[in-house]
Amino acid sequence: MLPRPNPYETRKKQLEIAAHLINLHPNTIEYLKRVERSLIVSIPIIMDDGSLKIYEGYRVHHSTLRGPAKGGVRYMPDLTLDDIKALAFLMTFRNALLGIPLGGSKGGVRVDVKSLSKKELERLTRRYTAEIINMIGPDIDILAPDVNTNEETMAWMMDVYSMQKGRSVPSVAVGKPLEIGGTVGQDEAAGRGMYYILQALSEKLSFDIKPLHIVIQGFGKVGSVIAKILYEQGCKILAVTDSTGGIYAEKGLEITNTVLKWKQEGKQFKDFKADGIKYITIPDIFNIKCDILIPAAIENQITSKNVDNINCKIIFEGADGPITSKADKVLNEKGIIVVPDILANSGALIVSYFEYIQSIHAYFWDLERVNREMKTILLEAFEKVWNLSKNQNCSLRNAAYMIAISNVAKSHELRGLFP
């Protein structure tokens, strides 16, 4: 079995391509390819049966040139340090593209959360937070939820940090429950932001959203939301998957009252049965002809092995890094438009930034303001990326990175090197 592609190497390759397009100085390229600091920690916890287990955790700061770092925490059984480096890297340039004055970080624990009880999960989270506490803080590095973490996880993390500081510090984490400083709109932000970009893209390319045929890999925080929005707009959702497999219907799935309800009840797609609906494996999702493909699960899903099977017009990267650099080149040659992760799923980042601001000022916004301001930031970024892509005759990904890298490089140039 071949090793999976290294996501950190993919990110560095993307940087090099875009950096050369803007004639960035080799010294700056070398500087931006490295992370500022990495921490590996051991996380010992007592299990419910009294035994001791020790897990490995990570926290990485890629860059704090433009402000405090910010990034999620994910729990996955095959997580590596390079995974975390790649995600921190992405956060740096995503913030720069959007004009948000923050840097990039990421963290996580190598653990299968399905094997833990709730109490074990809480002990793991609290110990992990304590181990990385010197690397985090409102003016250092802000925590956020990611794969297999949620608002409850953030509440535990905020509590550990606050207890160490002797006062409540809600701005150390975002994605929190509303009752302790969370913000409205966070749950749907990534999917709703993706829809705003799709609207803008439809205007640029003069197509109607309503008759589109959609395929979605992943039905979590991003996939389920964009599926519901597009279904309500009249799109035909042909297929969706979760971690167990997927379901396909030639005439389209009923999302709102059937598929969403099934998942909200904690059920898996492998057990879903209904007339006109066919079970598919996760790899099958990439063989289905459609207008828009949305990979919204995890990284490295579209690779050189399956890219030739992709038959769509547009790909929206709902996950971080779902396409490898080799596959990306093939998609570009095939004329498939890829709206890159750095832009496509940035709604959640923007709204979490709003939460950070609101927590600091203890003044909270209503949903209308959150969505309005999120849409403004996203569409300004999209317009810049689209225009540069057309002017330079390059992919949206390269255009996005050219803008982001220029912004980070300028910060590096202005600050210089210490000492």
Full 3-state SS string of 27-83: HHHHHHHCCCEEEEEEEEEECCCCCEEEEEEEEEEEECCCCCEEEEEEEECCCCHHH
**Angle ∠(352,358,363) on CA atoms, nearest 5:** 150
- Write the burial class of residue 116 (CB in 10 Å: 0-12 exposed, 13-18 middle, 19+ buried): buried
Contact (CB, 8 A) for 259 and 180: no
CA 6 to chain centre: 17
From the list 300, 297, 340, 332, the residue with the least C-alpha distance to 316 is: 340
Q: In angstroms, how far is the first alpha carbon of the chain from the final one? A: 47
CA distance 234 to 309: 26
Residue 262 vs residues 59, 110, 266, 270, 299: alpha-carbon distances, Å? 35, 29, 7, 11, 25
419 prior amide bond cis, ω within 30: yes
Phi-psi region of 252 (alpha: psi -120 to 50; beta: other; left: phi over 0): left
CA distance 143 to 162: 13
Catalytic residue numbers, as ranges: 106
DSSP designation for 152:
H
CB under 8 A, 24+ apart: contacts of 224-227: 224/191, 224/260, 224/263, 225/187, 225/188, 225/190, 225/191, 225/192, 226/190, 226/191, 226/194, 226/195, 226/294, 226/296, 226/316, 226/318, 227/191, 227/255, 227/259, 227/260
Contact (CB, 8 A) for 47 and 127: no
The SS3 of residue 108 is strand
Concatenating the DSSP letter of every residue in 175-193 gives S--GGGT--TTTTTHHHHH
Contact (CB, 8 A) for 317 and 323: yes
Contact (CB, 8 A) for 343 and 381: yes
Tokens of 197: 């970009």
